[in-house]
A and B are shown apart, each in its own frame.
Chain A
Amino acid sequence: MQACLARSLATLALLCALGASVSARRAHAQDDEPEAVPRGFAIPQTREARALAERAETHLAAQRWGEAFTLLQELLTQHRGEVLLPPEIAHDRDDVPREGAAVWAREKLASLPAEARALYASRYGEEAREALEVARRTRDARALLDVARRYPLTPAAAEAWWALGDLEFELGEQLAAQASWQRAEAVSRLFPQGSPQAAARRLALARSLAVVESREPALPGADSVVWSQALARNDMLTPFSTGSSNCIFPTVADDTVLVTDTLRLWAFDAWSGEKRWETLEPAGWSQVDRGQYRPNGSRPLLRREFFENLHRRSLMVRPASAAGVAVAALQIPYSSVYNDMYQNYEITNVIPERRLYAFDLRSGRELWNHRPPLDWNGSSGPLEFQLSVAAPPVISGSRVLVPYYRMQGRVDLHVGCFDLYSGERLWSSALMSGQMALNMFGRQLHEYNAAPVTIVGERVIVSTQLGSIAALDLQNGDIVWHALYEQIPVPRASPWEIVDRPQVFATASPAIVGDVVVCAPIDSYDFFALDLATGARLWSRPSSALRRPSRELLALLGADRERVWFSGQCVVSVRAARGIAEAAPTELQESADITNLSEWPRPLLTEKHVLVATPTRRVALLRNALASEFAEASSDWEAGLRSGNVARGDGALFYSTAGALFGVIDWRAVEERFRLQSEQSPDDPQPLLDWAGVLERRALVEMERGRSLTALELLARAREKIERFATPADDALRAPTLVRVFSLLLAEAHALELAAEALRALETLDRAAQFAPDDAALVRVHVQRIDLCELLERHERRALLLAELGRIAADRDMPLDWWNLRGAERFAGSLPDSSTTGVLPVSLFVTLESARDARRRADASGEFRELHALLAAWGNVELPGDPALAVSTRIGELAESNRSEHQPYELRASELLVAARERSDAIALERVSVLFPHTSAALEAARLRLEQALETGDWPTLVRGVQRAIPDDWSPEVARNSELQALMVLRAALEELGNLPLAAALARRAALARPELVSDLPRDQGRKLADLAQSLPQEPVVSARPMSAELAHYDGKDTSAYFGMGQTALLGHFEAPASGGARRWIQVQIQRTARVEILQVVDALNPNVALWTQTLEPGTVRPTTRAALAADMLVLGGTTQLTGLDPHSGAMLWRWNSSNARIEHHAALGGLVLASTRAADGRASLVAIEPRSGIALWERAVPAGLWAHRPVLGPDHLVLLPSDWAQTPAVVLDPYTGSRTRIFRLPAHVSEADAAGAWIDAGRLFLPAFPKSSSLGERDCLTAWQLDSGARAWHVPCEEGIEFDSIVRSGEQLYLVHLATGKAKGAIVAVNPRIGAARRIAGLELDADDVLVGVRRHAVFESESGMLFVRTPSADGQLTDLIACQLPFGRKWVHRLPVHPSALYNSGPMPMPLVLANGIVVAYTETPRVRGQVSVPRTMCLLLDRERGAVRETMQLPLELGSAEVLDFESFGPNLWVAGQGGVLRRTKR
Chain B
Amino acid sequence: MIQSMLHVLAFALAALAGGLARGAQSQRSPLEEAPIVVTPEHARAVERGLEWLAQNQIGEGSERGAWLALIGYKLNTGFRHTAADKGHLGVTALAGMAFLAGGHLPGRGKYGRNVEDALEFVLKSVQADGYTTHGGSRMYSHAFATLFLAEVYGQTHRQDIRSKLQLAVDFIVNSQNQDGGWRYEPYAVESDMSIVVCQVMALRAARNIGIRVPKSTIDRAAKYVVDSAVTEETLQRSFGMFNARSELGSFHYQKNDGSRSSFPLTAAGVTALYGAGVYSDRSIDDGISYLRSHLAHFNLEYGRSVGGHYFFWYGHYYGVQAMYTAGAHDWESYFATVRDEILRMQQDDGSWPNEVGPGPALGTAAAVLILEIPYRYLPIFQR
Given A442-B183, A1429-B250, verify A347-B277 contact (CB < 8 Å).
Answer: no
Interface segment among B3-11, B337-345, B375-383: the answer is: B3-11
* Closest residue on chain A to residue B129 by CB atoms: A433
The answer to whether A1430 touches B77, judged by C-beta atoms less than 8 angstroms apart, is yes
Interface residue B30 (Cβ < 8 Å from any Cβ of A):
no
The answer to whether A489 touches B189, judged by C-beta atoms less than 8 angstroms apart, is yes
The answer to whether A408 touches B297, judged by C-beta atoms less than 8 angstroms apart, is no
Given A29-B215, A379-B134, A438-B188, verify A13-B280 contact (CB < 8 Å).
Answer: no
* Closest residue on chain B to residue A1428 by CB atoms: B244
The answer to whether B247 touches A1428, judged by C-beta atoms less than 8 angstroms apart, is yes
Bound CA–CA A61/B248 (angstroms): 60
Given A21-B19, A29-B215, A1430-B260, verify A438-B129 contact (CB < 8 Å).
Answer: no
| Chain B 93-129 residues near chain A, CB threshold 8 A | 127-129
The answer to whether A38 touches B176, judged by C-beta atoms less than 8 angstroms apart, is yes
B residues in contact with A496, CB < 8 Å: none
A residues in contact with B76, CB < 8 Å: 1402-1403, 1423, 1433
The answer to whether B185 touches A406, judged by C-beta atoms less than 8 angstroms apart, is no
The answer to whether B297 touches A1426, judged by C-beta atoms less than 8 angstroms apart, is yes
Interface residue B136 (Cβ < 8 Å from any Cβ of A):
yes
Interface residue A1394 (Cβ < 8 Å from any Cβ of B):
no
Select A338's contact among B11, B82, B177, B301, beta carbons within 8 Å. B82
The answer to whether A1428 touches B219, judged by C-beta atoms less than 8 angstroms apart, is no
Interface residue B296 (Cβ < 8 Å from any Cβ of A):
no
Given A9-B9, A38-B176, verify A24-B278 contact (CB < 8 Å).
Answer: yes
Interface residue A47 (Cβ < 8 Å from any Cβ of B):
yes
The answer to whether B8 touches A10, judged by C-beta atoms less than 8 angstroms apart, is yes
Given A5-B5, A379-B135, A434-B187, verify A1433-B222 contact (CB < 8 Å).
Answer: no
The answer to whether A492 touches B297, judged by C-beta atoms less than 8 angstroms apart, is no
Select B1's contact among A2, A337, A1432, beta carbons within 8 Å. A2
Bound CA–CA A1253/B131 (angstroms): 47
The answer to whether A348 touches B183, judged by C-beta atoms less than 8 angstroms apart, is no
A residues in contact with B69, CB < 8 Å: none
Interface residue A441 (Cβ < 8 Å from any Cβ of B):
yes
Interface segment among B52-60, B144-152, B167-175, B317-325: the answer is: B167-175
The answer to whether B20 touches A340, judged by C-beta atoms less than 8 angstroms apart, is no
A residues in contact with B170, CB < 8 Å: 42, 46
Interface segment among B38-46, B206-214, B326-334: the answer is: B206-214
B residues in contact with A637, CB < 8 Å: none
The answer to whether A12 touches B12, judged by C-beta atoms less than 8 angstroms apart, is yes
Interface segment among A409-417, A707-715, A923-931, A1467-1475: the answer is: A409-417
The answer to whether B294 touches A1429, judged by C-beta atoms less than 8 angstroms apart, is yes
B residues in contact with A78, CB < 8 Å: 163
Bound CA–CA A1402/B2 (angstroms): 44
Select A1429's contact among B178, B190, B216, B247, beta carbons within 8 Å. B247
* Closest residue on chain A to residue B253 by CB atoms: A1430
* Closest residue on chain A to residue B216 by CB atoms: A35
The answer to whether A20 touches B18, judged by C-beta atoms less than 8 angstroms apart, is yes
Select B82's contact among A6, A44, A337, beta carbons within 8 Å. A337
Bound CA–CA A1431/B261 (angstroms): 11
Q: 1/0 per position for A1-32, CB-CB distance to B under 8 A?
A: 01001100110111011111111110111110
Chain A nearest CB: distance from B88 CB in Å?
A: 13
Interface residue B67 (Cβ < 8 Å from any Cβ of A):
no
Chain A nearest CB: distance from B270 CB in Å?
A: 13
Select A36's contact among B189, B217, B226, B281, beta carbons within 8 Å. B217
The answer to whether A1455 touches B306, judged by C-beta atoms less than 8 angstroms apart, is yes
The answer to whether A33 touches B215, judged by C-beta atoms less than 8 angstroms apart, is yes
Interface residue A810 (Cβ < 8 Å from any Cβ of B):
no
Q: 1/0 per position for B239-270, CB-CB distance to A under 8 A?
A: 00011111100100000000011110000000
A residues in contact with B279, CB < 8 Å: 24
The answer to whether B131 touches A6, judged by C-beta atoms less than 8 angstroms apart, is no
The answer to whether A442 touches B11, judged by C-beta atoms less than 8 angstroms apart, is no
Given A20-B18, A33-B215, A377-B62, verify A1428-B246 contact (CB < 8 Å).
Answer: yes
The answer to whether A492 touches B190, judged by C-beta atoms less than 8 angstroms apart, is yes
Given A40-B187, A48-B166, verify A24-B133 contact (CB < 8 Å).
Answer: no
* Closest residue on chain A to residue B211 by CB atoms: A30
The answer to whether A40 touches B189, judged by C-beta atoms less than 8 angstroms apart, is yes
Interface residue A435 (Cβ < 8 Å from any Cβ of B):
yes
Select A13's contact among B11, B174, B263, beta carbons within 8 Å. B11
Count how many chain A residues have C-beta atoms less than 8 Å from C-beta atoms of the other chain.
Answer: 85
| Chain B 280-302 residues near chain A, CB threshold 8 A | 280-282, 294, 297, 301-302
B residues in contact with A296, CB < 8 Å: 82-84
Bound CA–CA A46/B62 (angstroms): 30
* Closest residue on chain A to residue B24 by CB atoms: A27
Given A25-B278, A1429-B263, verify A42-B247 contact (CB < 8 Å).
Answer: no
Bound CA–CA A1423/B212 (angstroms): 43
Chain A nearest CB: distance from B176 CB in Å?
A: 5
Chain A nearest CB: distance from B55 CB in Å?
A: 21
Count how many chain B residues have C-beta atoms less than 8 Å from C-beta atoms of the other chain.
Answer: 93
* Closest residue on chain B to residue A25 by CB atoms: B277
| Chain A 37-57 residues near chain B, CB threshold 8 A | 38-42, 44, 46-48
Interface residue A64 (Cβ < 8 Å from any Cβ of B):
no
Interface residue A1427 (Cβ < 8 Å from any Cβ of B):
yes
Chain A nearest CB: distance from B328 CB in Å?
A: 19
Q: 1/0 per position for A486-529, CB-CB distance to B under 8 A?
A: 00011111000000000000000000000000000000000000
* Closest residue on chain B to residue A440 by CB atoms: B190
Given A17-B15, A430-B128, verify A25-B219 contact (CB < 8 Å).
Answer: yes
Interface residue A336 (Cβ < 8 Å from any Cβ of B):
yes
Bound CA–CA A382/B245 (angstroms): 56
* Closest residue on chain A to residue B281 by CB atoms: A21
The answer to whether A39 touches B174, judged by C-beta atoms less than 8 angstroms apart, is yes
Bound CA–CA A1430/B258 (angstroms): 13
* Closest residue on chain A to residue B172 by CB atoms: A36
The answer to whether A47 touches B212, judged by C-beta atoms less than 8 angstroms apart, is yes
Bound CA–CA A41/B130 (angstroms): 13
The answer to whether B129 touches A42, judged by C-beta atoms less than 8 angstroms apart, is yes
The answer to whether A16 touches B174, judged by C-beta atoms less than 8 angstroms apart, is no
The answer to whether B5 touches A35, judged by C-beta atoms less than 8 angstroms apart, is no
Interface residue A380 (Cβ < 8 Å from any Cβ of B):
yes
Interface residue A443 (Cβ < 8 Å from any Cβ of B):
yes
Interface residue A883 (Cβ < 8 Å from any Cβ of B):
no
* Closest residue on chain A to residue B184 by CB atoms: A442
Given A25-B219, A30-B207, A409-B186, verify A433-B243 contact (CB < 8 Å).
Answer: no
A residues in contact with B189, CB < 8 Å: 40, 489-493
A residues in contact with B130, CB < 8 Å: 433
B residues in contact with A412, CB < 8 Å: 127-129, 131
Bound CA–CA A1008/B70 (angstroms): 62
Interface residue B139 (Cβ < 8 Å from any Cβ of A):
yes
Bound CA–CA A409/B131 (angstroms): 9
Binding site for A on B (CB under 8 A): 1-2, 5-6, 8-9, 11-13, 15-20, 22-24, 62, 73, 75-77, 80, 82-85, 127-131, 133-136, 138-139, 163, 166, 170-171, 173-178, 180, 183-190, 207, 212-220, 222, 226, 242-247, 250, 260-263, 276-282, 294, 297, 301-302, 306
Chosen A-B contacts, 27 in total, with CB atoms closer than 8 Å, are: A16-B12, A16-B15, A16-B16, A21-B278, A21-B280, A24-B24, A29-B218, A29-B277, A35-B214, A42-B187, A337-B82, A340-B82, A378-B135, A379-B62, A409-B138, A409-B184, A409-B185, A410-B129, A410-B185, A412-B129, A434-B187, A435-B187, A442-B184, A489-B189, A1427-B244, A1428-B245, A1429-B261
- What are the 6 tightest A-B residue pairs by CB atom distance, in nearest-first order? A1428-B244, A20-B19, A435-B187, A13-B12, A42-B174, A1427-B246
Binding site for B on A (CB under 8 A): 2, 5-6, 9-10, 12-14, 16-25, 27-31, 33-36, 38-42, 44, 46-48, 78, 81, 296-297, 336-338, 340, 342, 347-348, 377-380, 406, 408-410, 412, 414, 430, 432-435, 438, 441-444, 489-493, 1402-1403, 1423, 1425-1433, 1455
Question: Told that A21-B278, A1432-B77 touch, could you supply 8 new A-B pairs with CB distance under 8 A?
Answer: A2-B1, A5-B2, A9-B5, A18-B226, A24-B20, A35-B214, A493-B188, A1425-B244
